[in-house]
Amino acid sequence: MSDFQKLLKAKVSMDHSPLKKLQKSAVAAPVIIDHKLFNDESRKMDKLIENMDSSLKVVIMGEVKAGKSTLLNSFAGRNISPMDISEATGSIIEIKYHPEPYGKIILRDSIIEDKPDKIFDELQNNNNNQEFFKTCEGIEFGFPISNLKDFTLVDTPGLETITEDNSNRTKEYIAKTDVVIWVFNGHHLGQADVEEALIEVNRFGKPIIAVINRIDEIDEDPEVLIDYLDDEIGMFVEEIIAVSAFKANNAVLSGDDSLLTESGFQSLLEYIGDNISSNSEQVKKDVVINSAQVLLNRDLLIHEEYIKTIEFLQAQMEEIKNKVKMSSSRIHDNVLYQFENWYQNEFLSDEAEELKNIIKQSGYFQLKNDKKEVECKLQSIFSEENINNKLSERIKDMDKTYINEWKVAVDKIKREIQVEINDFKIEAEKELELKLKHNNKLNDGDSDFLSGASKGALLGGATGAASAFYAAALGPAAATVTAGMALSAFMPPMLLIGGTIGVVSAALKFKSEKSMAEKNIDDIFKNAKQQFKKELFNSISEKYVKQDEQILEKIDALLINSFANGVSTAQIVFLKMKLEKYLFEVKKHIEELKLIEV
């Protein structure tokens, strides 16, 4: 399999990413997919493949007035670029070999093509026309110059003239270039903003040759300048060469070899000849393979972070479910405990005391009448209506306690989960920072990829979805999960009332001693309550078990809808399996490209 086929195969795999398929389909993803991030990465891989068979591109960059156009004319062997035309227009200009001279302005909706001089005039005429250059997608010149057969020269605007639109265009262009010649103004070495821009270009993984220009205007040994710049930015460049582009251009035009050597341009030509021109195909292949590895490693990172996000969501969902179950068990037991305490100590206690008072105040000749009054009151006390009313009132109070306890429990879970989300976010961002900082196979100079917005895209899964759950689910959950609970009616079991009155009446005996009669009342109430305690407690427990199940179902629905974007646990597990299979394929492509590189 050829190198091109291996690269193409890697591109096909990237296009079949499970996340990209989800992105294109109408099926929901458990975590929001950043469409822009995926599309940008795909576009970069497309450009690499387009660039595979094109000529070697050498981009000339630097600050304004560094002498880029003069240096470019020296390379071409004639004045092909009016001085500062790229800076004046803010455009990128390609200069390549062609048997016949031509110029071309590629606009968004049309192309202007003519002789080079005519195109230069057109550019100058539109010098201050911002609307014109907003629609300009490229400027191209062709010349029958042998020096241009090995590579295409590219002139770029000075750094200070690059608008945000032009900056993005320049970055996109650098992504598909092969070699960068960075021109420094010898008068202004060591400027921080220039060094920052240089470091950003270095992240693209392209070889950079640093050129110190205007040395003929500086009263300093060029070697001192080279040593100084080497200390400042040496780690980011392949070579540092000092030149006078002005002398070089005059030497090339006049054929003065001694002036060419004196200008330092000869050293630059020799370096390019030894390391680029004579080996342009290999240089190009190395650049493309290196850039492809960067893109594949980034793709790997994106999918690894997505899996990490899914695992975090799964873990959080399980943890919340466990916390909810523990709360459910505690609240259920507490409500039943309170009911049992009330049932044992308060239920019908006032009624029993009232009957005992009747007995206490009863005289010898009133016993018969008082016994009838007690029997009548007993029938009323243990009637189905009275028992139901008493229990229903108590159940209403218990429902209030139940709802309040659930509100407290959900608020507590909410706070605990938010702490865990924040901890995860901090740790995940730290890990991502370290990966991006120390792995040169992740950075291609795309500052957006390193920005907070992009980190949000990578981690957005974990932090964004978790926060969404916090807001959409746990935020109002205290009200949501308990909605309708108080409406869950309680019906005491009918068998509690059935034979109670007869048993109580049969047990009622007025002894000669009032204390024995009072004890008889206590025993009656105690035995009656004990008789139907088990069934009553089972009914109440069943009522709250059903309510617990409703709450658990609501929490589960909230978890799926808010925490996983409506995607079920089974679907998440299946997606994770597909992602892990995809990661294996990407790693295999990365290893194949490493073998090419070796």
Q: What is the CATH number of the domain that holds 149?
A: 3.40.50.300
In eight-state DSSP terms, residue 560 is I
Binned at pLDDT 50, 70 and 90, residue 337 comes out as: very high
User: Could you read off the pLDDT of 224-240 as tens digits, one per residue?
Assistant: 999 999 988 888 888 99
CB neighbours of 265 closer than 8 A, spacing ≥ 6? Answer: 74, 243, 244, 245, 247, 248, 251, 252
> Which helix or strand (DSSP H or E) is residue 270 part of?
helix 265-275
The answer to whether 276 and 58 are in contact (CB under 8 A) is yes
Q: Does 334 lie in the same domain as 242?
A: no
For residue 126, pLDDT beyond 50: yes
For residue 409, pLDDT beyond 70: yes
Distances (CA, A) of 188 to 42, 208, 235, 320, 399: 39, 19, 19, 60, 78
User: Could you read off the pLDDT of 63-98 as tens digits, one per residue?
Assistant: 777 888 888 888 777 666 555 555 555 678 888 888
What does the pLDDT read at residue 548?
86
User: Could you read off the pLDDT of 348-375 as tens digits, one per residue?
Assistant: 899 888 888 887 776 655 656 767 777 7
State how far the Cα of 102 lies from the Cα of 13, in Å rounded to an integer. Answer: 40
The answer to whether 203 and 446 are in contact (CB under 8 A) is yes
Query: Average pLDDT for residues 406-417, to the nearest whole number?
Result: 83
State how far the Cα of 149 lies from the Cα of 139, in Å rounded to an integer. Answer: 19
Q: What is the pTM of this model?
A: 0.56
What does the pLDDT read at residue 263?
92
Q: Does 432 lie in the same domain as 557?
A: yes
For residue 243, pLDDT beyond 90: yes
Of 238, 259, 278, which residue constitutes the final position of a domain?
Answer: 278
What does the pLDDT read at residue 69?
80
How far is residue 373 CA from its own chain's centroid? 78
For residue 115, pLDDT beyond 80: yes
What does the pLDDT read at residue 508?
52
CB neighbours of 152 closer than 8 A, spacing ≥ 6? Answer: 54, 55, 56, 57, 58, 94, 95, 96, 97
> Which helix or strand (DSSP H or E) is residue 363 part of?
none
Q: Does 530 lie in the same domain as 387?
A: yes
In eight-state DSSP terms, residue 401 is H
Q: Does 209 lie in the same domain as 125?
A: yes
> Does 401 map to a domain?
yes
User: Could you read off the pLDDT of 132-171 as tens digits, one per residue?
Assistant: 878 888 888 888 877 677 778 888 775 554 455 556 666 6
- What are 364's two structure tokens? 């010898």
Q: What is the mean pLDDT of the chain?
A: 77
Q: Does 261 lie in the same domain as 126?
A: yes
User: Could you read off the pLDDT of 28-59 as tens digits, one per residue?
Assistant: 888 777 777 777 778 778 777 766 656 678 88
> Does 590 map to a domain?
no
> Does 589 map to a domain?
no
How many structural domains comprise the chain?
2
Q: Is the dihedral of CA 188, 444, 44, 459 positive or negative?
A: negative
For residue 509, pLDDT beyond 80: no
Q: Does 189 lie in the same domain as 108?
A: yes
What does the pLDDT read at residue 334?
93
> Does 433 map to a domain?
yes
The answer to whether 80 and 176 are in contact (CB under 8 A) is no
Q: Does 96 lie in the same domain as 177?
A: yes
Query: Average pLDDT for residues 308-331, to the nearest whole number?
Result: 86
The answer to whether 317 and 462 are in contact (CB under 8 A) is no
Of 241, 261, 278, which residue constitutes the final position of a domain?
Answer: 278
What does the pLDDT read at residue 463?
43
What does the pLDDT read at residue 290?
80
Q: Does 256 lie in the same domain as 336?
A: no
- β-partners of residue 94 are 140, 154
Nearest to 372 by CA among 510, 549, 229, 514: 510
Q: Does 393 lie in the same domain as 269?
A: no
What does the pLDDT read at residue 476?
47
Of 262, 278, 294, which residue constitutes the final position of a domain?
Answer: 278
Burial class (CB in 10 A: 0-12, 13-18, 19+), 282: exposed
State how far the Cα of 395 lies from the Cα of 540, in Å rounded to an integer. Answer: 9
In eight-state DSSP terms, residue 55 is P
Q: Does 195 lie in the same domain as 128?
A: yes
Long-range pairs, 509-513, Cβ under 8 A, ≥24: 510/359, 510/367, 510/370, 510/371
For residue 546, pLDDT beyond 90: no
User: Could you read off the pLDDT of 166-225 as tens digits, one per residue?
Assistant: 566 666 677 667 788 999 988 888 765 677 777 777 777 778 899 999 999 998 899 999
Distances (CA, A) of 284 to 89, 290, 442, 459, 597: 29, 10, 20, 34, 12
> Does 316 map to a domain?
no
What does the pLDDT read at residue 486?
45
> Does 18 map to a domain?
no
User: Could you read off the pLDDT of 245-259 as tens digits, one per residue?
Assistant: 999 989 988 888 899
202: left (phi over 0), alpha (psi -120 to 50) or beta: alpha
Q: Does 271 lie in the same domain as 207?
A: yes
Domain of residue 341, residue span: 326-571
Percent of the chain with pLDDT over 90: 11
Amino acid at 101: P
> Does 165 map to a domain?
yes
What does the pLDDT read at residue 167?
62
Q: Does 343 lie in the same domain as 265?
A: no
Three-state secondary-structure class, residue 261: helix
> Does 471 map to a domain?
yes
For residue 429, pLDDT beyond 80: no
